[in-house]
Chain A
Amino acid sequence: MKTLLELRQVSKHYGQETAALSDVSFNVKEGEFVSIIGPSGAGKSTLLRCINRIVDASGGEIFFNDENVLKLDKAQLKRVRRTIGMIFQHYNLVNRLSVIENVLHGRLGYKSTLAGMLGLYSEEEKQQAVKMLNILGLQEHTYRRADQLSGGQKQRVGIARALVQKPKMLLCDEPIASLDPNAAKTIMDYLKTISATMGITVLVNLHQVDVALRYSDRIIGVNKGKVVYDGSPKEMSSSMIHKIYGSEAGELIFDHGGQNAG
């Protein structure tokens, strides 16, 4: 399989002192499902945001689909961004707009300034949005206001918005951190299905080690801005979890969800 994403010695400093990322390097292949785990403040969110340049990396190189992301000008960056969907912990929908309008926002990267401003979408785009809502089981909520939905439903709207972009890759920043276990499972199942059936690469930040181990083709462990583990979930050991999370926290995690780690 072709390499879709490649990070070479990416670093990010906030201000003078805080080094959120230092020398982060890894590859992601097309269609892969990769989880990034690590303690709070390890730099997971920063890492995802550097890839689509919501945050500008301080150093290193990022290649996506053979393009050097950090070298792109404004117009090129928009073109790359629209092929990368993003999903957020707090869904980040426009609460006062309807579900379908929120989904259609995924098309804005393809629209002219005027058409996008006024929200003029083509018939085909609307049908695409409806189709995505059907896939995600939201058809009866199409015209409801986004703030009337439950957390799990909002997150599915977020996924639909990302999918109408026709993305090559999804970046998911703790997509299930605000959801109860059932809704969380639904979301993870959708992400897995999407990855498998549409061939979309998924890069997901997770706090739940057991979920990461169950769903991922590969795990990247981050601690203090450095990659400390990059391998398959099968080879993940309890000592490795301790290393990623620091020993005390590792103990706790291992008690709960570590069985799969063997």
Chain B
Amino acid sequence: MRGDIFARKKMNAFVFLGVLILVTLVAIVMTEYNVAKGFTSIPKAVHWGFSNFYPNGESFRKLPDIMMKLKETVLVSIAATSAGAVFALVFAIFGAHTTRFNAVLGGISRGIATVFRNIDVAAWALILLFSFGQNVMTGYFALFFGSFGYLTRAFIETIDEVSGGSVEALRATGAGYFHIVFQSVIPSSIPQMISWILFMIETNIRQATLVGILTGTGIGFAFNLYYKSMNYHTASLVVVAIVIAILFIEYISNYVRRAIL
């Protein structure tokens, strides 16, 4: 019996690998993708990048403008993430095994979060374009929905992982539902939750750039504008600014993580 499990696992791995190779081959044939050409074009792309895609003196005159757009994007990302986190906390408490009222409500809560999580932020942006148009609100809500779905899932796992024992202990003392949530579940899971929120902010700044291209706002719009007008030097400065911003946020969040854990 026991040998069976390992044999079956090995079998599964082989089948998975086979299917993967098959899918790749089918995809290559169907899209008429030329593998050799794909690889040989990489050096060309690199060459182009080095000869055109770098900031020059001229482009730095646009820096204040870029910084303003960048600030807007960062702030929208943070705002959307925080709002998403508040809703995610409520849904996670309803959806987590240890804190749910009952299985039905828990299932509904998880279901809603799953829907939001599985629609990509870019897809949300396109959907919301219809209701809000090319507007900051579109980007904000797209990021908000994405963060909400993702964080709900992360928070549910945090709650179930972190607070099992003490929840049982408090229940045994005669504590009520809200006592347990506020005295045990939240204190136990807060460091991990903050860690998830920081991670989400980082992700959202990256996503916001893409969403900005779609919605014509923020740093993504700036990039798109310079790129389309073939001002590659300024466009590359935008990229550098985004990278620096992300590194900076990452540095801050690592610092915060160390401080709270």
Q: Which residues of A contact B (CB under 8 A)?
A: 52, 54, 77-82, 84-86, 88, 90-97, 105-111, 113, 116-119, 158, 161-162, 165, 171
Contact = CB atoms under 8 A, between A and B. Distances in A.
B188 A78 contact: no
B175 interface: yes
A107 B174 CA distance: 9
A161 B173 contact: yes
A82 B173 contact: yes
Contacts of B168: 54, 88, 92
A96 B122 CA distance: 38
A118 B183 CA distance: 8
A88 B183 contact: no
Contacts of B163: 94
A165 B171 CA distance: 13
A92 B166 contact: yes
A247 B190 CA distance: 49
B33 interface: no
Contacts of A78: 174-176
Interface string B151-185: 00000000000010110111111111011011110
The 3 A-B pairs of least Cβ separation, nearest first, read A109-B174, A82-B174, A108-B175
Interface string B20-50: 0000000000000000000000000000000
A108 B166 contact: no
Contact of B183 (A119, A158, A165, A171): A119
B191 interface: yes
B160 to A, nearest CB: 15
A126 to B, nearest CB: 15
A78 B176 CA distance: 8
B187 interface: yes
A172 B176 CA distance: 21
A81 B165 contact: no
A108 B169 contact: no
Contacts of A111: 179
Given A86-B169, A92-B166, 6 more contacts: A85-B172, A86-B172, A108-B170, A108-B175, A113-B178, A116-B178
Given A88-B165, A90-B165, A94-B188, A105 B178 contact: no
7 contacts: A54-B171, A82-B173, A96-B190, A109-B175, A116-B182, A117-B181, A165-B173
Given A90-B165, A92-B166, A161-B169, A116 B187 contact: no
Contacts of A80: 174
Nearest to B171: A54
Contacts of B175: 78, 105, 108-109, 116
Contacts of A108: 170, 173-176, 179, 183
